[in-house]
């Protein structure tokens, strides 16, 4: 399941959705809104996405992961909109027969998501200023 949502992420339901008797390992990654970045204090983040392309890129990532690991089920949910400190911005759940496969597949999915899926975050600093986060990067590599 791949989903972009304005609502809070139900990571329990997401985790359950990838469990099955075929898999002995389930890995769940949660990205959450962190308070401190380089000595500056965040009070909230705003996430914006390009939904059609983000869906397409996430589907490509799932396909690429399935070519590399014996994945049973995958669930990826990214939240958009205004998130307060500690809230969950992204959840990746993956099930595989064995744990190493599940760990590796989960790491691949979140690492690649951060490089190639068109979603952006804007910092709301505690001094009242805001700032788009744009990592210095080149064209994302084809996966």
Partner 1 sequence: MLTVKLFAKARDLVGSPIIQIPWSDGDTVGRLKLALSERHPSLLPLVPRLLVAVNNDYAPDSLKVRTSDEVACFPPVSGG
Residues that bind partner 1 (CB under 8 A): 31, 47-50, 52-54, 56-57, 78, 89-90, 110, 113-122, 132-137, 139-140, 142
Residue 41 or 114: which CB sits closer to partner 1?
114
| Smallest distance, partner 1 to C-beta of residue 79, A | 10
| Smallest distance, partner 1 to C-beta of residue 125, A | 15
CA–CA separation, 94 and 109 (whole Å): 9
Whether the CB-CB separation of 4 and 88 falls below 8 Å is answered with no
| Smallest distance, partner 1 to C-beta of residue 47, A | 7
CA–CA separation, 82 and 61 (whole Å): 25
Residue 21 or 137: which CB sits closer to partner 1?
137
E strand or H helix at 37: strand 36-37
Whether the CB-CB separation of 36 and 120 falls below 8 Å is answered with no
């Amino acid at each position: 399941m791949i989903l972009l949502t304005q609502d809070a992420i139900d990571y329990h339901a997401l985790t359950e959705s990838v469990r099955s008797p075929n898999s002995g390992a389930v890995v769940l990654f949660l990205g959450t809104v962190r308070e401190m970045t380089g000595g500056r204090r965040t009070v909230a983040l705003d996430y914006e996405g390009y939904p059609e392309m983000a869906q397409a890129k996430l589907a490509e990532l799932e396909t690429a992961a399935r070519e590399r690991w014996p994945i049973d089920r995958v669930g990826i949910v990214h939240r958009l909109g205004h998130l307060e400190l500690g809230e969950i911005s992204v959840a990746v759940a993956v099930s595989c027969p064995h744990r190493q496969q599940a760990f590796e597949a989960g790491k691949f999915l979140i690492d690649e998501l951060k490089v190639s899926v068109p979603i952006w975050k804007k910092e709301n600093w505690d001094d009242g200023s805001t700032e788009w986060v744009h990592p210095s990067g080149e064209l994302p590599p084809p996966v």
